[in-house]
Amino acid sequence: MVLAAWTATAQIPKYYQATWDSLRTYEVPERYKDAKLGILQIWGPYSVAEYRGTHAAEWYPRWMYLVEDPDKPFNEYDSQGAAIAKHHLETYGDPGKFGYHDFIPSFKAEKWNPDEWAQFAVDCGAGFFTMISEFHDGFAMYDSSHTQWDSVEMGPKRDVTGELAEAM
């Protein structure tokens, strides 16, 4: 089984404009129509905090800064963030002194093996595998010419997206 993966040289038959008329011409690839299972992978420096809870990892960089008083959330949505903020304060201290950028040197990915991830996708029968190459934290998991906040210049010092695309 061969899985399609995004690469900088992916075969994209058509480019779309930022208009509804343009997007209406989009045709869903066959591999998506028949897929019974797909994998969406989200991974980045936020995993270093090792916080486990509702929307734990991916929202960590937002909530560690946005909750003024973790003991007094004002609604259910804020209570998710309050738990993250409280964890950060208790584990790492004031986010003004130990901020999100301070996790990046510990994000080394030393046990990460893109070939194992690709094999996992095949073994579980995934029809597609999608990796979010840059989440809302702004850390690019590829070699970016637009920012130094990328996995080649910081953290793992590897082109995580490129290596995974090649493995796929």
pLDDT in tens, 65-78: 876 676 776 666 67
Q: Which residues, in sequence order, are CB contacts of 76 under 8 Å at separation 6+? A: none
Q: State the alpha helices, DSSP H only, in 11-159.
A: 20-24, 30-33, 60-66, 76-91, 114-123
pLDDT of residue 130: 86
Q: What pTM value is reported for the model?
A: 0.75
Res 73: pLDDT? 62
Token pair 């002194």 is found at: 97
For residues 51-64, average pLDDT: 77
**Measured distance CA(105)–CA(94) in Å, rounded:** 18
Per-residue confidence band for 151, with pLDDT thresholds at 50, 70 and 90: very high
- pLDDT tens digits for 98-133? 999 999 999 999 999 999 999 999 999 998 888 889
Q: 3-class SS at 41? A: strand
Q: What are phi and psi of 125, to 5 degrees?
A: 80, 25
